[in-house]
Every structure is written in C-alpha cells, then in structure tokens.
C-alpha cells in the first residue's frame, strides 16, 4: 500500500486549486492546527464526505507488562476516535 505524504498533498492541492505550493502548504497547516485545537477543547470535528474526529475518554484498566507476568494498571486517559463517513466507506 502506497503512502501519500504531506508534500504529495500540497502538490495535488496546488495543481487542482491553481495556487502556489506555498499557499497550499499554509492551508494544510492551518487546517490541521484548527482540527487539533478543536479536539483539545473537546469538540467534535466533522469533515463531510470524509468522517468525524472526536475525543473519547478511556477507563483505567489492568494489563500485563510484555515479556513478564507483572500486572500493571493503565491509567484513564483520552484517545482520538475517527468514524468514517458512510459515503466514503461505500465508495472504497
């Protein structure tokens, strides 16, 4: 499976939108900053046709340390959840 990186996204956006690579890069950086800030504030970010990002709490749980049989407690925390848009899922 081939990976599409930030530079490839910048190039494609610049070509499709008819803007410079610098401007396309600034747009991507700004978009990512806005998404991160919204998630930090506990907001849900919806990208129509792509999916929804949200922060969900995780409970404290017991686990076994790899390589040993020692039981450890994994503290409660938060994780980012991504739910794929139905329209994207149907078109894959």
Domain boundaries, the chain: 1-41, 43-91
pLDDT at residue 60, rounded to an integer = 96
- Alpha carbons 58 and 38: distance in angstroms, whole number: 19
For 48-73, the pLDDT digits (tens) are 999 999 999 999 999 999 888 899 99
Burial bucket for residue 10 (CB in 10 Å: 0-12, 13-18, 19+): buried
**Does the predicted model carry a pTM greater than 0.85?**
no
CATH architecture of the domain with residue range 43-91? Irregular (4.10)
Which of 38, 42, 78, 41 has its CA nearest to residue 57?
A: 78
């Amino acid at each position: 499976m081939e990976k599409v990186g930030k530079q490839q996204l910048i190039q494609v956006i610049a070509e499709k939108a008819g803007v410079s690579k610098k401007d396309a890069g600034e747009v991507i950086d700004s978009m990512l900053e806005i998404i991160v800030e919204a998630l930090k504030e506990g907001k849900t970010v919806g990208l129509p046709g792509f999916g929804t990002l949200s922060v969900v709490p995780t409970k404290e749980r017991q686990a076994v340390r790899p390589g040993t049989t020692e039981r450890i407690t994994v503290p409660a925390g938060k994780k980012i959840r991504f739910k794929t848009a139905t329209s994207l899922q149907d078109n894959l």
